[in-house]
Amino acid sequence: MIAPGLALPLDEVVVRTSRSSGPGGQHANVTASRVEAVFDVAASSALSAAQKARVIERAGVRVTAVAQDARSQARNRELALERLAKRLAAALERPRPRRPTRPTVASRRRRAAAKQRQAQRKQARRPPRADE
């Protein structure tokens, strides 16, 4: 489940395995426990055209997730699929529209006072003029 009413079909996800560099000791040398999940956005039938455009703009044409945290391939497969779903959900999320605001009168006064203090501080550092 990526978003409400949107699930990722597993037949559209390519899962590849390879040897892991993570935990496992000698076990890691003989098992392909690293899992890479790849989702081709352009070829997906689960996403609408607008969703595809948003994901491609924010995450690219191919969204990938890799897991090599656990010793077992099955656990790494679960982790990779979870990470892939999170990336797709983040790419599909619409940002809240920004509501323009104005600075308050008090904040404008504080800013002006801070600028005045800074100007006085710098003026005090100057050497005295010759006419004084």
CATH number at residue 45: 3.30.160.20
- Residue 97, domain member (yes or no): no
33 falls within a domain: yes
Phi-psi region at 84: left, alpha or beta (left = phi > 0; alpha = psi -120 to 50): alpha
C-alpha closest to that of 90 among 52, 59, 48, 64: 59
State pTM to two decimals: 0.68
Question: Mean pLDDT, consecutive 10-residue segments, the chain of 132 residues?
Answer: 77 87 66 89 88 90 90 90 92 90 97 98 91 70
Q: What's the total number of domains in the chain?
A: 1
Q: What tokens appear for 30 in the block?
A: 């003989």
Rounded to whole angstroms, how far apart are CA atoms 94 and 85? 16
| 70 domain-assigned | yes
Domain holding 55, by residue range, is: 10-92
Task: Determine, yes or no, domain membership for 63.
Answer: yes
Residue 32 located in a structural domain? yes
Report if residue 65 sits inside a domain: yes
The pLDDT score that the predictor gives to residue 30 is 75
Cα separation, 103 vs 88, whole angstroms: 37
Give the per-residue pLDDT at 28.
Answer: 63
